[in-house]
Amino acid sequence: MHDITAIRDNPAAFDQGLARRGIAPQAAEVLKLDGARRQGQTSLQELQTLRNKLSKEIGEAKKARDETRAQALMAEVKTIKDRLAALEGGEGDASPGDNEALTALLSSLPNLPASDVPDGADETGNVELRRVGTPRTFDFAPKEHDTLGGAAMDFEAGARLSGARFVALKGPLARLERALAAFMLDLHTKEFGYTEVIPPLLVRDDAMFGTAQLPKFREDQFQTTDGFWLIPTAEVSLTNLVREQILDEASLPLRYTAWTPCFRREAGAAGRDTRGMIRQHQFDKVELVSLTTAETAQAEHLRMTGAAEEVLKRLELPYRVMLLCAGDMGFSARRTFDLEVWLPGQGAYREISSCSWCDDFQARRMDARYRSKDGKVHHLHTLNGSGLAVGRTLIAVLENYQQVDGSIRIPERLKPYIGGMAVIEASELRR
């Protein structure tokens, strides 16, 4: 949610930020609704003050046994109560109903990009910051993961059970996915100080609103018949752990990690990545969330990105770091770094992690705050990132560690998590 005070102070800057996102100016409409809301609040306060004054006078009139005056005052109070009820119900030109309209408008508008975010309308405007690792040179034509996975990557079973964009991993691939997640969790908790959480996978409207999945992305989500939402990412559960709280600055930063299934309709990806595991309705991810102060948030962003990079470094998977342009960032993000891993079967770098700084955009929606050392209360800054998408990491291991006979070597750092196994034989993948 946007800070209405900042919009009042500099409406031009607000519109300029939206323009970088490809959105038409909104400040005039925001300020119009804000003015009506404030006028409505003033009218309410004035009527409430008058009601209280007249109620006191009724008591004085009754005490003086002036029944005529008491009845007249009571009639006036009733009229005021009716006017208050109308205003509180959203009637009239200046009423709290304008507050709902203002909230609806502000909640539909994305965060503004940071000054160092490049301009651009889509992924073609993203800027490559660096490459790490050298892609392997193969002496055979490398295959894509859905061919390598064989019967252990059972898309037919997934389709029979649930439809398109589902898969059943079996045997060695199920074990490999579990090993990857355990490796990531150990790295983030033991070396980067994240606290592991097993969070709820079903959340209420308020939680989805808090991290901005609602209302704008309602159609991309899965909802149960009794109104719960399946989380599209553990970011929702982990970030909302501090909703409606005031924390002490000394407790910050808070860093959480979780390995969960994630559920998305992928409605915006029709026709893209229809083969394989790249884009599924259900997938596993190890999520990273940080909650901190405005002063430390940008350093925390670099730290979080480094934690996600370390997974790729230790698995010896080549990757590149991209700074997303204003038009390609997620709705809540102020700045995003994407990690893209090299997939030799596709001959391309593909996203495996997004690490975003959201400043106080989500915290305002959650009413999540902290009290600084001087006693003042501020909104938290929130950050989130994939550390990593487990299924995509499995894809990257299959494609980068494949051998000419279809077997898969196990990365050295992963062997302790998979019982010391050095190779997944091609025959195991065909069973």
Domain ranges within the chain, ordered by starting residue: 4-107, 123-430
Of 177, 249, 351, 425, the active-site residue reads 351
| pLDDT of 167 above 60 | yes
Whether residue 115 lies in the annotated active site: no
Whether residue 372 lies in the annotated active site: no
Per-residue DSSP letters for 363-402?
HHHHT-EEE-TTS-EEE-EEEEEEEEEHHHHHHHHHHHSB
Q: What pLDDT does 72 receive?
A: 87
> What is the per-residue pLDDT across 390-427, written as a single tens digit (0 to 9) for each?
999 999 999 999 999 999 999 999 999 999 999 999 99
**Inter-residue contact 189 to 196 (CB < 8 Å):** yes
Whether residue 279 lies in the annotated active site: yes
Amino acid sitting at position 211: T
Partnered with residue 382 across adjacent β-strands are: 291
Whether residue 275 lies in the annotated active site: no
Q: What pLDDT does 53 receive?
A: 83
- Percent of the chain scored above 90 by pLDDT? 82
Domain 4-107 has CATH 3.60.15.10: no
Residue 332: which residues within 8 A CB-CB, separation 6 or more?
110, 111, 211, 212, 356, 358, 361, 362
Of 178, 265, 279, 320, the active-site residue reads 279
Q: What angle do CA 152, 155, 156 make, to 5 degrees?
A: 105
273 DSSP assignment: S
Cis-peptide into 339, omega within 30 deg: no
CA distance linking residue 254 with residue 232, whole number of Å = 22
Of 51, 335, 365, 392, the active-site residue reads 392
The average confidence (pLDDT) of the chain is 93
Distance of CA 185 to the CA centre of its chain: 20
> What is the per-residue pLDDT across 284-301, written as a single tens digit (0 to 9) for each?
999 999 999 999 999 999
Q: How many CA atoms lie within 13 A of 347 on its CB side?
A: 3
Whether residue 88 lies in the annotated active site: no
Q: What is the mean pLDDT of residues 214-230?
A: 96
Residue 50: which residues within 8 A CB-CB, separation 6 or more?
80
Q: What pLDDT does 57 receive?
A: 82
Q: How many CA atoms lie within 13 A of 55 on its CB side?
A: 10
Level-2 CATH architecture, domain 123-430:
2-Layer Sandwich (3.30)
246-248 vs 369-371, strand pairing mode:
parallel
| pLDDT of 93 above 70 | no
Q: What pLDDT does 74 receive?
A: 87
